[in-house]
Structure formats: C-alpha cells, structure tokens
Copies of this chain bind each other. A is one copy, B any other.
C-alpha cells in the first residue's frame, strides 16, 4: 500500500517522463501493485493531482488537463527565455491544411467530398495524409453512400496539441450573419 506522498512523487515522475498526457486511469493503472485496492489508489491519484496543481504555483511549470489527460507545461511567463533557446522555427500550416482541419473539427464526421463542397476546391490526398500523420485526424469508417467515402474526425492528440480539453473548447463559429438560411431567404425575396 502506497502513501500519498509516494504516489504524488511517482505521478510527477511519470508526467515528467511521458511523451503524451496521461489520464487518471492510465496513472492509476501504472501505479497499481498486486495487492492494491483500486478505489483507494484512484483517490490517491486524484489527491496527488490536486497536490501537484497547488504545489506548482511556486514552480516553473503547471499541471494542465487537455484532451487525453494531464501534462506538465512550462508557465507561459517563461516563453520569453524559451524563445531564445528554441531554435526550431514553429511550423507554419498552410491555409488548405487549416481550413480542412477546421471543417473536420466542427463538422465531424465528415467526408472528403463534403469538405470539398464547402471549400469549393479539391482536397489533396497530401493534406489528409499530413493531418493523419500529425495524429490530428483519423478515419471513422465509411459513410453509407455510393462509393462508401471515408469519414474523418479529430483525435485526442488534436485537442492536446491545441491545448483543448474537449471539442466544446473550440472557438465558436462566427455565424454572425447567422443562420445562412435566413440570408438566402432574404436574398431570394
């Protein structure tokens, strides 16, 4: 049976070493020992996360919850120094890629044809492939239509990368001229 302090330090160690965010379930699974009482362990993990969150206020990093779980991020106030260290120029994404991603994020599940309809231009396989490679989108299965086109949706890694907890955290769509239908109606009158 582990003590809270031991769990807290182990959770911190795991978060600092893991490549990707870790969920509560993953953390508890990793810390489970043969004789462990699961509900007790879950409670300890939960308390550890609370402790780390509180404790970090003094430190250079903070505990953040994103789509696939928890991770430790350097506080943004240090970005000034990190910018000098980080030689790698941040990657610029093309508008084609971002627009395709936006359509998949807001309209999932969506097929390539449906994306093309909105954008008015064909979507290159390269764009889809890059998004899959980056781990931001995935195939959700074929749509029940002639030709059985593939449907796409976003992944948890997409949420992680853009610092979102759920899809609801996406900026709201600006349908200011809102509902397009009304406008079309007004045009037709």
Q: Which A residues have a C-beta under 8 Å from some C-beta of B?
A: 9-10, 12-14, 16-19, 26, 29-31, 59-61, 74-75, 78, 81-82, 84-88, 91, 95-96, 120-122, 124-126, 130, 133-134, 147, 187-188
Tell me the minimal C-beta distance from A10 to chain B in angstroms: 5
Known A30-B81, A88-B122, A121-B133; 17 more pairs at CB < 8 Å: A9-B60, A12-B61, A13-B60, A13-B61, A13-B74, A13-B78, A13-B81, A14-B78, A14-B81, A14-B85, A17-B78, A17-B82, A19-B124, A30-B85, A31-B81, A91-B121, A91-B122
> When the two chains form the complex, which single residue of B18, B30, B86, B121 contacts A134, counting CB atoms closer than 8 Å?
B121
* Shortest 3 CB-CB contacts between residues of A and residues of B: A13-B60, A13-B78, A12-B60
Give Cα A16–Cα B124 distance, bound, in whole angstroms. 16
Q: Contact: A16 with B147, CB < 8 Å?
A: no
Residue of B12, B87, B95, B126 near A59 (CB, 8 A) is B12
What is the oligomeric copy number? 2
A163 CB → nearest B CB, Å: 16
* Cα separation A96 to B130 with both chains bound (whole Å): 11
The CA of A86 and the CA of B30, in the complex, are separated in Å by: 10
Determine the residue in chain B with the shortest Cβ distance to A133.
B121
**A34 vs chain B, min Cβ distance (A):** 13
Interface centre among A13, A130, A133, A188 (most CB of B within 10 A): A13
Interchain CA distance A187-B84 in the complex, whole Å: 45
A130 in contact with B121 (CB, 8 Å):
yes
User: How far, in angstroms, from A48 to B188 measured CA to CA in the complex?
Assistant: 53
Whether B74 and A17, one on each chain, are in contact in the complex, defined by CB atoms closer than 8 angstroms, is: yes
